[in-house]
Amino acid sequence: MLSDDDARLWHAWKTATERVEARVAADIAAATGLSVADFAILTRLSELGGGALRQNELAVALGWHRSRLSHQLSRMERKGLLERVPHDSGVEVRLSDRGAGQVALARPVHAAAVRAHLIDPIPATEAARLRVVLEVLGADGAAGGA
Amino acid sequence: MLSDDDARLWHAWKTATERVEARVAADIAAATGLSVADFAILTRLSELGGGALRQNELAVALGWHRSRLSHQLSRMERKGLLERVPHDSGVEVRLSDRGAGQVALARPVHAAAVRAHLIDPIPATEAARLRVVLEVLGADGAAGGA
DNA sequence: AAAGATTGATGCATCAATCTTC
DNA sequence: GAAGATTGATGCATCAATCTTT
């Protein structure tokens, strides 16, 4: 029920999205042992909160559900990347020294990976155009979507 | 270390890829209860094998590792979507009646979802151009990549 | 030994149910 | 009760170890 062109575009989309994601994740993991989820959290903590944020603010900033964040933080706490401290009506999440070190290490690796696997392969003349298309596809009320 | 433009492009990429994938998966699941992984397997079986394929051929066709396929087939067998039959030096995977029915149901839903969430939102003048970029990004030896 | 396949463990996403604290 | 957070279960991807059969 898809035309040949549509099927090819879908296939190219699936392959590209899977591989870019996997390559970036592999580069970060190889250099630091961090997962993409780890890195997302450490980055928010160090950028937005100067090392500490209330858990709910973190969830909102990431666009994550509470339970997802809670599970993720538990794994990261176990690895010594951060601490959770009870606070007024909530929990404060704090970068540990180890977490701060890891994210400092990961940041340039992440940037290089994004460049190597996404930015650089895109012809310069296509970048602006591509971004517009991606913004449409990612918009909240995308055509036909929820 | 990323320029503003690069960071915006990366962000738009991440958001678009996550959401398109999630929307297509949600549409298929809502209509049939199948996951994307289920659908991928049922589709290969019905298209390539006329309902049956040797497990290893299936793995190659999907580009999956053996263990991933084995786990997935176990879950699907449990749900009654297919059967595994020992064969000469290998295992034959066969669509059950239930699996055949489900994939027949899912196929048009999948096509409609791909159209609604990927194809239709892309301006017609951009489609060919986008596909070229995606093919570069998904290529085996992408720049800087493995 | 080598190919085909399974298994168990771990990490991550999601859902539903629960608990706590205001 | 409502917001914030945790927990347990399930599905899926990946890795390493194992088993089977030729």
Cβ atoms of A94 and A87 closer than 8 Å: no
Name the pLDDT band for A142 (thresholds 50, 70, 90).
low
* pLDDT per position as a tens digit, B58-75: 999 999 999 999 999 999
Mean pLDDT within B42-64? 94
B129 and A129 within 8 Å at the Cβ level: the answer is yes
Note the pTM of the prediction, 2 decimals: 0.93
Stretch (H or E) spanning B85: strand B82-87
- Amino acid letter for position A31: A
Mean pLDDT within A29-51? 95
Residue B129 pLDDT:
97
User: Is 70 exceeded by the pLDDT of residue B144?
Assistant: no
* pLDDT per position as a tens digit, B1-24: 899 999 999 999 999 999 999 999
* pLDDT per position as a tens digit, A6-24: 999 999 999 999 999 999 9
Residue A144 pLDDT:
46
Tokens of A56: 């709910």
Whether A68 CB is under 7 Å from strand C: yes
Residues contacting residue B128 through CB under 8 Å, at least 6 positions apart:
none
Residue B87 pLDDT:
86
Residues contacting residue A146 through CB under 8 Å, at least 6 positions apart:
B23, B26
Residue B143 pLDDT:
53
Q: Which of residues 73-102 of B touch strand C (CB under 7 A)?
A: 73-74, 84, 87, 89-91
Residues contacting residue A133 through CB under 8 Å, at least 6 positions apart:
B122, B123, B126, B130
* pLDDT per position as a tens digit, A103-129: 999 999 999 999 999 999 999 999 999
Residue A145 pLDDT:
38
* pLDDT per position as a tens digit, B75-103: 999 999 999 999 888 899 999 999 999 99
Mean pLDDT within A89-95? 93
Q: Residue A139 carries which DSSP code?
A: S
B23 and A119 within 8 Å at the Cβ level: the answer is no
Tokens of A116: 């190597």
Mean pLDDT of all residues belonging to chain A: 94
